[in-house]
Amino acid sequence: MTVKAGIVGWPVTQSLSPVLHGYWLKQLGIDGEMLRVPAQPDEFRDVIARVRGEGFAGVNVTVPHKEAAFALADRVDAAAKVAGAANLLVFHAGAIEGKNTDSYGLAESLRENIGALGGAHAVLLGAGGAARGAVLALESLGAGVIHILNRDAGRAQTLAAQLGPHVNARLVPGGLADWRSVAGSAALLVNSTSAGMGDNAPLDLDLSALKQDAAVCDIVYKPLETPLLKDAAARGHKTIDGLGMLMHQAAPSFEAFFGQRPQVDAGLRAALESALFGPK
């Protein structure tokens, strides 16, 4: 029998989840499908009830429903609890389990590219939902100090106060004006904002303040090389695009839905790049 799973969001037409899961389903020879499930903000609960009734194994959840998914779940994992959001709902008999795999995805992408941080300093740009997952990712890699910089420094302070009790790393909030004073100590810069994505204005950040051996990561994957990463590459920094996070965060979902842990490989990246930008 075909195992069904879904990706729920609004809009959801551009989601790459069917490409991701479809690649793994074919590779592993599993009879399954990942379906796009549109749900406007006021439809989320009804849509989840419908797909449960249709026998879905579970769903991934994207904007704007991650907080609603967290609220709907009967039980949640530690990452979802800290983030206050879930991007994965697994349907069990009589219960919905909520998980957050975003921090895992970012951590694995960073680990794949630069390894553990071993107490080093990191600078995180942004203080929204994505920043919450990024803090957990940096913590899991062993960051000693995480400077959280945001246009609204008050939001950075709030985030640091909320997450501080849950991590061993020291969280130091500030505004973007603090960039030059903290950049020189950083081994890694992570952009968790939407700056540089699509038509959004890029970050106005002087990367000359970074050490030459510092790495730069942007969680945006469209475009794959954001203005930030282009500038970093031109200066000789190691760069990490957002596609790695996207691929790795999907692996636990696939296992939850279809029962096998898939591998993130070059073929998957090629399939996603083709879906995003057309064949080379």
Contact 2, 33 (CB under 8 A): yes
Q: Is the domain of 186 the same as that of 202?
A: yes
Contact 103, 169 (CB under 8 A): no
Q: How does pLDDT run along the chain (280 residues), one tens digit per residue?
A: 899 999 999 999 999 999 999 999 999 999 999 999 999 999 999 999 999 999 999 999 999 999 999 999 999 999 999 989 999 999 999 999 999 999 999 999 999 999 999 999 999 999 998 999 999 999 999 999 999 999 999 999 999 999 999 999 999 999 999 999 999 999 999 999 988 777 788 888 999 999 999 999 999 998 999 999 999 999 999 999 999 999 999 999 999 999 999 999 999 999 999 999 887 6
Q: Which of 66, 99, 230, 238 is catalytic?
A: 66
Q: Is the domain of 216 the same as that of 110?
A: yes
Q: Is the domain of 123 the same as that of 56?
A: no
C-alpha distances (whole Å) from 178 to each of 125, 147, 226, 232 are 11, 9, 22, 19
Number of domains in the chain: 2
Q: How far is CA 223 from the centre of its chain?
A: 16
Q: Nearest-CA neighbor of 125 among 169, 170, 83, 173? A: 173
pLDDT of residue 280: 67
Full residue range of the structural domain in which residue 182 is found: 103-241
pLDDT of residue 98: 98
- Residue count of the chain: 280
> Is 66 a catalytic site residue?
yes
Q: Is the domain of 157 the same as that of 174?
A: yes
pLDDT of residue 162: 95
CATH classification of the domain holding 271: 3.40.50.10860
Contact 86, 73 (CB under 8 A): yes
Q: Is the domain of 123 the same as that of 187?
A: yes
Q: Is the domain of 94 the same as that of 145?
A: no
pLDDT of residue 204: 84
